[in-house]
A and B are shown apart, each in its own frame.
Chain A
Amino acid sequence: MTTGTMPLTDTAPQPKSAWRNAFILLLGDRFALVSLIYLVLLVTAAAIVPELIGEEGTKINLRQRNAPPFTLENGALYLLGGDSLGRPILPLLLEGARTTLLIAVSVVICSMAVGTGIGLVAGFYQRLLGAFIMRAADVIMSFPSLLMAVIVLYVLEPRAANVVIVLGITRLPLYIRVVRAEVLEIRERLFVESARASGATNLRIIVLHILPVIIPTICTVATLDFAGVMLSESSLSFLGVGVQPPTVTWGLMVAMGRNFLTSAWWLAFWPGLAILLTALATNLLSNWLRLAMDPMLRWRLEGTEGEEEEERRDV
């Protein structure tokens, strides 16, 4: 919304801030709203709670080994039970959320930024450079990503930073291919030719005329991919080549609970549920994002207020 500072709103409706607009759009999709609330709560809790309870949350307490859930006998921290080392699962989940989410966010942002850049180049300069990039992407894709991650992390030190790099690289082809495909279509449209006719440089055309059109697509792919990355990270931890104890991640918690599936199901269940819910929430949110960022689809989310505005405008 650029109208706020301009003198041309005298007959226009009250200038709305971007935040207010986003909020209105969010009300149009209940699932997205719930998902967002869940994610915000999760992130806030993961950021604050471990700081508040400190040592208590991760202290090993062998008396509470595999303590059953849904009882306050052992104190509120043990509401979801205790794990095989007697640590309370509830604060441990939040502790794990920090690592898991941090890794997932870093991977998504890195691979999105790099992949989009490469994809734009590959799409715009179709000839040699583009062909080379696409074959390189094919090579990465043709190799099972989990296998590659396992091998690389087995050789390298399995630290969080390495996990981010490996997962980031295996995710690159996704962005490169999606972005390139979009660029191939958009570069043929007349507004690009028209920009060229009015003297725009290639860089300007790519950044200012093509990129904004594909940003909604990239964001949708990124949010969808977020869930995928989280699952990959969990798989790596589960296989033992990801993040190592004593750092906790959800995948690691599932892995550690595996041995007790028959006797203490809650060890693997809670982190599994956390993974599921978070993946679901980001998927639902990406669905909303796709509609909200596309000016041509946005009306679906605008509900009655948008209609009123349209009517007023038509008069």
Chain B
Amino acid sequence: MSEAPAGAAPLLEVRDLKVEFRTGKRVVRAVNGVDFMVSAGETLAILGESGSGKSVSFEAVLGILESPPGFVTGGQARYQGRNLFDLPARERRSMCGRHIGMIFQDPLSSLNPVFTVGWQLSEMVRVHLGASKQEADERALELLERVGIPSVRDRFDDFPHQFSGGMRQRVIIAMALAVDPALVIADEPTTALDVTVEAQILDLLKKLQREQGLGLILITHSMGVVAEIADHVSVMYAGRVVETGTVRDVFARPAHPYTLGLLTSIAHVGETDRRLVPIPGQPPDLAHIPSGCAFHPRCPFATERCTSEIPDLREAGGPGRARACHVLETVIAAEIGG
């Protein structure tokens, strides 16, 4: 379980979240008891492969999960102390809309192609803050300026297709910030962008977060992004959190074989003589999650116990540090040895 800085009350706290997809007789358990916690001014990264349940978790929390087929089958999501799952769907959505900003992955399709960028931004302000047209336009301009769109007054009446990918993502960030949210959830915000633009967008997010003391949750599959921007990281595998801790700790001393595998499978500049070690095998089919630890078929350290008993996420290796592995000691030994 990730731990908030001392004294700060958690902004969003998710406990034991379970999400299933039911199609006909098939049941796909996408999220199997996930815990998260994020406080104001803190950045939490959710790291995992595609299909590990990262996005689904937050769709469930925000109430935008397509249902059916998706169902929340257990758990709590407390936003500033209120359990979101206790609210009726409509109320939850409007509450989330008012307090939580969402940034989606693909800037190409996140904006409505038939409205000007300024109109969309200003509409958001009008609806949620009840501002007049004029006030909303002023605020929209200010937002666009804040996310670094050049010559905003000229661009205000441009359509989304007249912007580049990076600029569009800036507009989307502006939209997420339009309602002065306390928490922003960014679902792979830089996946569709090239590296230089990615760095700019991450910088922008970091800057805005610091300025406004936002809680930021960053869903990503990129170790680089995590290292660049996050304070804490939770690593997800097959719908569970397998390891969590501060970014520095997790990257320096990975305590789960999956995290270790992720770290050894990326290239570092200057390490020309080191071979990349891929994680063998495939991510599991969520309709048939392996018994015991879901990672055991791909784990080089797996023991008999791993195939039958699901490891709990237990605190280990310092405050705010937790991992779900039976063979932790072996891993650490292996790491020190190699």
A1-60 CB contacts (< 8 Å) to partner B: 1-3, 6-12
Distance A10 CA – B154 CA, assembled complex (angstroms): 9
Distance A296 CA – B114 CA, assembled complex (angstroms): 8
Indicate if A147 sits at the interface (CB-CB under 8 A): no
List A contacts of B90 (CB < 8 A).
201
In the complex with contacts A209-B112, A213-B114, A200-B97 CB distance below 8 A: yes
List B contacts of A216 (CB < 8 A).
114
Contact with B along A184-203 (1 / 0, CB 8 A): 00000111011011111100
A198 with B156: CB separation less than 8 A: no
- Which residue on chain B has the smallest CB distance to residue A196? B64
Contact with A along B124-137 (1 / 0, CB 8 A): 10011000011001
Indicate if A135 sits at the interface (CB-CB under 8 A): no
A196 with B114: CB separation less than 8 A: no
Contact with A along B144-157 (1 / 0, CB 8 A): 00000001011011
Contact with B along A295-315 (1 / 0, CB 8 A): 110000000000000000100
- Which residue on chain A has the smallest CB distance to residue B119? A2
A295 with B113: CB separation less than 8 A: yes
Distance A212 CA – B112 CA, assembled complex (angstroms): 9
Pick from A6, A9, A198, A213: contact of B112, CB below 8 A: A213
What is the predominant secondary structure among interface residues of chain A facing chain B? loop
The number of residues on chain A lying at the interface, defined by a beta carbon within 8 Å of a beta carbon of chain B, is 30
Distance A2 CA – B118 CA, assembled complex (angstroms): 10
A189 with B137: CB separation less than 8 A: no
List A contacts of B96 (CB < 8 A).
197, 199
A198 with B128: CB separation less than 8 A: yes
B102 with A197: CB separation less than 8 A: yes
- A189-B109, A200-B93, A213-B114 given; name 6 further pairs at CB < 8 Å: A8-B141, A11-B151, A12-B153, A12-B154, A197-B93, A199-B93
Question: Could you give 23 example pairs across A and B, Cβ below 8 Å?
Answer: A6-B134, A11-B151, A11-B154, A12-B157, A189-B109, A190-B106, A191-B109, A196-B64, A197-B100, A198-B128, A198-B175, A199-B95, A199-B96, A199-B98, A199-B128, A209-B112, A212-B115, A213-B112, A213-B114, A295-B161, A296-B113, A296-B161, A313-B154
